[in-house]
Amino acid sequence: MKELTIRIPIRVFDYEELGADDRRLIDAAREATRRSYSPYSRFAVGAALRLLDGTFVSGSNQENAASPSGLCAERTTLFYANSRYPDQPVDTLAIAARNERGEFLAAPIPPCGACRQVMLETEKRYGREMRILLYGTQGIYEIQGVSGLLPLSFDASAMK
């Protein structure tokens, strides 16, 4: 038997340590939580991304009584960016969340599996890794590429 160990580097920043563009992106993700439609879970998630050309796009989770007909903030944001700006790769994606009391979470929230898969496909589509910022009041995680969230990923190359 062999054992495989996977190590994922995650840098942790305080908000003040981020550059101005990254703070603006985090602020946009935080603001997007206010546009969340989450009457069932009361868990408001916002995402914002910066395209390679500097364009910002944001979105929020949208729930539906006929679950799982809703959509996560990350996919809302990525799908809009991919359809509106089809020639622009995603440079950085930021994610923030508030609990049912309206408070931002202390620890950063990672994306769900479906969102990770869409993030991976977005990277494959543009042939470029996207940087990910996960916001928490006690620190912001920086992950260089979806492989840091989905190390044993499934994509089209697995079907060959």
The answer to whether residue 74 is catalytic is yes
Helix (H) or strand (E) holding 139: strand 139-144
- Give the closest residue to 47 by CA, choosing from 9, 81, 88: 81
- Give the closest residue to 72 by CA, choosing from 10, 29, 123: 29
- 121 burial via Cβ count (<10 Å: 0-12, 13-18, 19+): middle
- Give the closest residue to 115 by CA, choosing from 141, 91, 146: 146
CB under 8 Å to 114, separation ≥6 — which residues? 72, 75
CA separation for the pair 49, 143 (Å, rounded): 14
Catalytic residue among 63, 74, 123, 142: 74
> Token pair for residue 75?
């996919």
What are the catalytic residues? 74
